[in-house]
Amino acid sequence: MSQGTILYIEDDGDSRVMVERILARAGYRVLVAARALQGIDLAREHKPDLILADINLPDLNGREIAIRLRSDPRLADVPIVAITAYSDEADREKTLIAGVDGYLTKPIDARALPDTIASYLQGRRDTVSEEAADSARQAVGRELIDRLEKTVRELEDSNRELRRIDAIKDDFIQLTAHELRTPLTTVYGYSRLVQSAPVFRQAIANDPEAGAALEGLIASVERLQLVVEEIITVSRIALGRVDLKVGPANLRAIIETVIAGYERVTQQRRLKLVFDLDEWPRGMMGDSALLELAFSNILGNAIKYTPDGGTITLHAKVEGERLRVSVADTGVGIAPEDQKAIFERFYTAGDTQLHSTSKTAFRGGGLGLGLAIARGIVTAHGGRLWVESPGYDPVNLPGSTFYVELPMPPGPPGQAYRAMW
């Protein structure tokens, strides 16, 4: 019959084997763990009758193990016995005030160990004087402060290094994109020249496949050019190098251009765009080209995640000195855990292997840059961009709504800068 369950946490393999054998022969059921966190998990799963732990483990020390275990109400009364190679009295006192019930030093007395364990199971508790306990608490407090300060310094150093590496990465990405831009422009230009050449026109009259092949080449180059421009833009945003050319911006004209750019795909996919241009203000201050890119990316995202036949509603409202724009779709929705991540660079929701190569097909492909670019542009204008969605559901299609808030110039709502137009 088992004398009880003992959990032994020890990173040294030889010690684990020896203690496990001694306690097993004495009739105990023994659980072993090589790491502190593994041992804590086993303790929570099995609730042993006693926990025997080495005080110097790679991930946590014995005092930290005791503090974590004592914070669990189910384990608060389980005896904890620390084992250490050190016989320092101050170390013993610091360990006992952390919630440890017993303190054993190595080498372990194999003959006495079963009786020692039994004594702790029967209620034995090692104690320290109140004076020694106060001194130990002060020492532990100083240790914790030193460790905290060291951790903060290490985190600051790591953060600086990460920022440095991130800046190098962004510079490299931007440089690479610039290097790609020139040959792509050359290929595109020569392709158009070939396409318009009389000799080629005569050739495709006899071989239509040659014309189709060239059209495919031009379309691929155009797609690559868009990808390169996206990479350059998002790199500039990440490096804080957004060069806003601020001036009077006709938001109504911008939205008209954006919608017109998607007219073909919305017709092909039977998507209904609902909007009232009279809602959109003509006058505001901003970079018209970048605002067009931002709203194009937001609308493009709605198109991508709305099934064929769905509806996308664009709405604008001026509230005091703020303009709020909403783009609501009847698409698959966005899971709560993705609603912040989708604005990160290169983040794509769902299984990217399921994505098609088209950026406007349902759940189409892309580099995951569109929304990152949109947020960067909106933020650079002093605004904010966020999304609200009940969650992801490709069957019931709960949809998502993207919101953009932008500052408006002072003046009566909807009347600002009317004189400019």
Instruction: Indicate which CATH number applies to the domain containing 394.
Output: 3.30.565.10
124/59 same-domain check: yes
212/104 same-domain check: no
Torsion (CA) 167, 173, 175, 179 in degrees, nearest 10: 180
> Total domain count for the chain?
3
198/230 same-domain check: yes
Rounded CA separation 361/232 (Å): 24
CB 304 within 8 A of CB 360: yes
Q: Is residue 10 part of a domain?
A: yes
Q: pLDDT at position 331, please? A: 93
Q: Is residue 133 part of a domain?
A: no
260/406 same-domain check: yes
CB 360 within 8 A of CB 265: yes
CATH code, 117: 3.40.50.2300
Chunked in runs of 10, what are the mean pLDDT values of the chain (421 residues)? Answer: 84 89 92 91 92 84 81 88 75 72 83 90 79 66 76 85 73 67 74 76 74 78 71 66 79 90 91 86 83 91 92 89 91 91 74 49 67 88 93 93 85 35 28
162/120 same-domain check: no
CB 63 within 8 A of CB 19: no
Q: pLDDT at position 419, please? A: 29
Q: pLDDT at position 244, please? A: 77
151/45 same-domain check: no
Strands 5-9 and 50-54 come out as parallel
Q: Is residue 134 part of a domain?
A: no
Q: pLDDT at position 391, please? A: 93
Q: How far is CA 328 from CA 196, 315, 401, in A?
A: 42, 8, 4
232/282 same-domain check: no
Q: Quick one: CA dihedral 222, 227, 230, 232, positive or negative?
A: negative
Q: Which of 71, 72, 69 is nearest to 61 (CA)?
A: 69
228/252 same-domain check: no
164/42 same-domain check: no
Q: Is residue 316 part of a domain?
A: yes
Domain that holds residue 220: 147-238
Rounded CA separation 338/359 (Å): 19
293/376 same-domain check: yes
- Write the DSSP assignment of 318-382 as a string of letters: EETTEEEEEEEE-SS---GGGTTGGGSTT---S-GGG-BS-SSSTTB---S-HHHHHHHHHHHTT
Count Cβ atoms below 10 Å from residue 53 Cβ, excluding itself.
Answer: 28
272/376 same-domain check: yes
Q: Is residue 137 part of a domain?
A: no
293/398 same-domain check: yes
Sorted by sequence, the CB contacts under 8 Å of residue 364 that are 6+ apart come out as: 304, 355, 356, 357, 358
Q: How many Å from the N-terminal Cα to the C-terminal Cα in the chain?
A: 93
Q: pLDDT at position 87, please? A: 64
